[in-house]
Amino acid sequence: MALTAAGLLALGVISSSSGFIIPVPSPQTCDSVQNGYQCQPQISHYWGQYSPYFSVPSEIIANVPLTCSVTFAQILSRHGARDPTAAKTLKYNQTIAKIHKNVANFTGKYAFLGDYEYTLGADQLTDFGRQQMENSGTKYYQRYADLARKAVPFVRSSGEARVVESAEKWVDGFTQAKTGDRWANNQYPSVNVVISEAAGSNNTLNHDLCTSFEDGPDSNIADAAQKTWVNVFVPAIQKRINGDLVGANLTSTEIIYLMDLCPFNTVASATGAISPFCSLFTQTEWQDYGYYESLNKFYGYGSGNPLGPTQGVGFTNELIARLTKKLVVDNTSTNHTLDDNAATFPLDRALYADFSHDNDMTAIFFAMGLYNSTSALPNTTIETAQQTNGYSAAYTVPFGARAYIEKLQCLGHREELVRVIVNDRVIPLHTCGADILGRCTLSDFVGSLSFARSGGDWASCSA
Ligand SMILES: *[C@@H]1O[C@H](CO)[C@@H](O)[C@H](O)[C@H]1NC(C)=O
Ligand SMILES: *[C@@H]1O[C@H](CO)[C@@H](O)[C@H](O)[C@H]1NC(C)=O
Ligand SMILES: *[C@@H]1O[C@H](CO)[C@@H](O)[C@H](O)[C@H]1NC(C)=O
Ligand SMILES: *[C@@H]1O[C@H](CO)[C@@H](O)[C@H](O)[C@H]1NC(C)=O
Ligand SMILES: *[C@@H]1O[C@H](CO)[C@@H](O)[C@H](O)[C@H]1NC(C)=O
Ligand SMILES: *[C@@H]1O[C@H](CO)[C@@H](O)[C@H](O)[C@H]1NC(C)=O
Ligand SMILES: *[C@@H]1O[C@H](CO)[C@@H](O)[C@H](O)[C@H]1NC(C)=O
Ligand SMILES: *[C@@H]1O[C@H](CO)[C@@H](O)[C@H](O)[C@H]1NC(C)=O
């Protein structure tokens, strides 16, 4: 098929020779159940944890292999798209006020900024984010329909309002899909357990308990790595913007805020229409921004932080318990009052759904060793991690992110196999001798999780 200019326009992929993205008319909605967010992917898939979920390209086909049936499916999900956090929404508003106070002339692609009114809220899901979670519930039902027709997932959520609401919307999407399936029984899920995020709470879906991780010197590593990278990529942008917006005199931090306003205004639109803030920056600048966000996750909660992966140990040990149908063995952040009780931590289910945050999911992925073949990210040059080995914040923990951990019963295999799929990308389990489809036997997979089974480095938490 010949791609005409009009065809490319429809895909939203026109960029001018200067590298700026030419805004293209948005279709009805940028989001879909199967493929997630697909408007202007050459920029929107580089917004780090502020990218809306999109189906990530996978080298290994992610479909359930024809000779296998799924016997178990755990989803670990981030909440849907939200407004900025309360602290950030204040800063963004101040930055806009500063621009309005000091700049008189808004022309060209800045014209919108003259009358832009800051109206974003704080902390809660946006309507777009709510729809993302319904879509996720529907997609999960469709993928696992053979099990989901007969079974209901056991659902847990971390306690923050947007996470609980995300779990509820996911349940709605699952329920709608099941209601429409004439082969399904009439049993539907609900949110079974909400785990408090209050100080001192043992919560495997929200970090907070490991004192030296939260307050020790290692809590600055991510900031330091990001600061170094800011000094590399922001000055040229800062010079251009301050030259274009005479009087603005924005700091490098305020330049990042201006970039943040692209994803946040985009997900504030019910259809996910690309915000005009996005066209103030080039495609390359968005890749640099995506890397800036990846540094935050890698050095904050991944293997770039000595105690990062340890924060994901509790959930990993709960996962082992579910996969093997044995009691949870863990002395880190699990709550044994909950986990030793079959009403709040059943072991006989085939389907499980847990709702959490980007930081916690990052720690869990690293506790599982999913990105153990990712070398440490440099902080002075961009690493094309997103292309080479699949680690980036946008690939792993976008708004509405979801990891699937599956057990497969396959012809020719006596033992069940385990596979892990992060946002539709199969993550080959190299740490336990992945086969050509990325899988390991259950015993090899559990065997490989010695880091989690031995409590990670939890002993250093109170050092
Ligand atoms: C932004 O700041 C202005 C001035 O302080 C305030 O009146 C307005 O309510 C703020 N808007 C939002 C959405 O926070
Ligand atoms: C464990 O869970 C129980 C039941 O929800 C709760 O009452 C208790 O406070 C929790 N303990 C900790 C340390 O989180
Ligand atoms: C960031 O780069 C500087 C300069 O190369 C280096 O000294 C520092 O250790 C790096 N930090 C991290 C977290 O990689
Ligand atoms: C306004 O800005 C544009 C481009 O930044 C410039 O060409 C124009 O001369 C400016 N107008 C005034 C009145 O300063
Ligand atoms: C620009 O802002 C800096 C502080 O970030 C300040 O020191 C400087 O005086 C300002 N320049 C102008 C022209 O306002
Ligand atoms: C957890 O603590 C108990 C009691 O101190 C101990 O017997 C057990 O070996 C520990 N388990 C792990 C996995 O650290
Ligand atoms: C909470 O976690 C701590 C370890 O950090 C553990 O000593 C305590 O027993 C746990 N509490 C419950 C209720 O499981
Ligand atoms: C991943 O690497 C860490 C650090 O080298 C190691 O402790 C852990 O066991 C590895 N995880 C797996 C699943 O191999």
Q: Is 336 in the active site?
A: no
Gap from CA of 331 to ligand 6 centroid (Å): 6
118 pLDDT band, cuts 50/70/90, is: very high
3-state SS track over 232-283: HHHHHHHHHHHHHCCCCCCCHHHHHHHHHHHHHHHHCCCCCCCCHHHHHCEH
pLDDT at 3: 33
Q: Other CB atoms closer than 10 Å to residue 251's CB: what's the count?
A: 13
pLDDT beyond 60 at 145? yes
pLDDT at 28: 66
Q: Which residue has the tokens 């930081």?
A: 359
**Nearest protein Cα to ligand 4, atom 13:** 105
444 in contact with ligand 4, CB cutoff 6 A? no
**132, 53 in Cβ contact below 8 A?**
yes
381 in contact with ligand 3, CB cutoff 6 A? no
Which of 260, 330, 354, 358 is catalytic? The answer is: 358
201 in contact with ligand 2, CB cutoff 6 A? yes
Nearest Cα to 456, choosing from 354, 339, 368?
Answer: 368
pLDDT tens digits, one per residue of 304-314: 999 999 999 99
**74: phi then psi, degrees, rounded to nearest 5:** -100, 130
pLDDT at 375: 85
Residue in 93, 101, 119, 126 to alter for ligand 1 test, most ligand atoms within 8 A of Cβ:
93
Nearest Cα to 296, choosing from 48, 46, 43?
Answer: 48
Task: Please give the Cα distance from 117 to 120 (Å, whole number).
Answer: 9
Structural domains in the chain, CATH included, are 5-460 (3.40.50.1240)
pLDDT tens digits, one per residue of 200-241: 999 999 999 999 999 988 889 999 999 999 999 999 999 999
- Please name the amino acid found at residue 258: L
Q: Other CB atoms closer than 10 Å to residue 371's CB: what's the count?
A: 22
Please name which ligand lies nearest the alpha carbon of 333. Answer: 7
**Alpha-carbon distances, residue 69 vs 72, 347, 413 (angstroms):** 9, 20, 12
- Please name the amino acid found at residue 368: M
179 in contact with ligand 4, CB cutoff 6 A? no
pLDDT at 7: 35
Task: Please give the Cα distance from 5 to 51 (Å, whole number).
Answer: 26
pLDDT beyond 60 at 317? yes
**188, 154 in Cβ contact below 8 A?**
no
Nearest Cα to 178, choosing from 134, 138, 233, 208?
Answer: 138
What percent of the chain stands above pLDDT 90? 89
| DSSP codes of every residue in 342-361 | TTTS-SS-SEEEEEE-HHHH
Handedness of CA 442, 443, 446, 448 (dihedral sign): negative
Question: Alpha helix locations (H) across 103-205?
Answer: 111-114, 127-143, 145-148, 161-179
Kindly report the pTM of this predicted structure: 0.94
Residue in 201, 202, 345 to alter for ligand 7 test, most ligand atoms within 8 A of Cβ:
202
Gap from CA of 432 to ligand 1 centroid (Å): 53
H or E element at residue 446: helix 442-448
341 in contact with ligand 2, CB cutoff 6 A? no
Burial profile 349-369: b = 16 or more Cβ within 10 angstroms, e = fewer: bbbbbbbbbbbbbbbbbbbbb
What percent of the chain stands above pLDDT 70? 92
pLDDT at 390: 76
Residue in 429, 450, 454, 460 to alter for ligand 8 test, most ligand atoms within 8 A of Cβ:
450
Q: Other CB atoms closer than 10 Å to residue 227's CB: what's the count?
A: 15
Gap from CA of 82 to ligand 1 centroid (Å): 18
Mean pLDDT of 411-430: 97
Mean pLDDT of 67-79: 98
pLDDT at 219: 87
**Nearest protein Cα to ligand 4, atom 5:** 244
107 in contact with ligand 4, CB cutoff 6 A? yes
pLDDT beyond 80 at 126? yes
3-state SS track over 21-33: ECCCCCCCCCCCC
Please name which ligand lies nearest the alpha carbon of 328. Answer: 6
Please name which ligand lies nearest the alpha carbon of 200. Answer: 2
Task: Please give the Cα distance from 366 to 373 (Å, whole number).
Answer: 11
Mean pLDDT of 314-337: 98
Nearest Cα to 272, choosing from 42, 20, 37?
Answer: 37
**Nearest protein Cα to ligand 6, atom 10:** 331
Which of 31, 45, 79, 288 is catalytic? The answer is: 79
Nearest Cα to 300, choosing from 287, 313, 309?
Answer: 309
pLDDT tens digits, one per residue of 351-404: 999 999 999 999 999 999 999 998 889 999 887 755 457 799 999 999 999 999
**295, 229 in Cβ contact below 8 A?**
yes
pLDDT at 248: 98
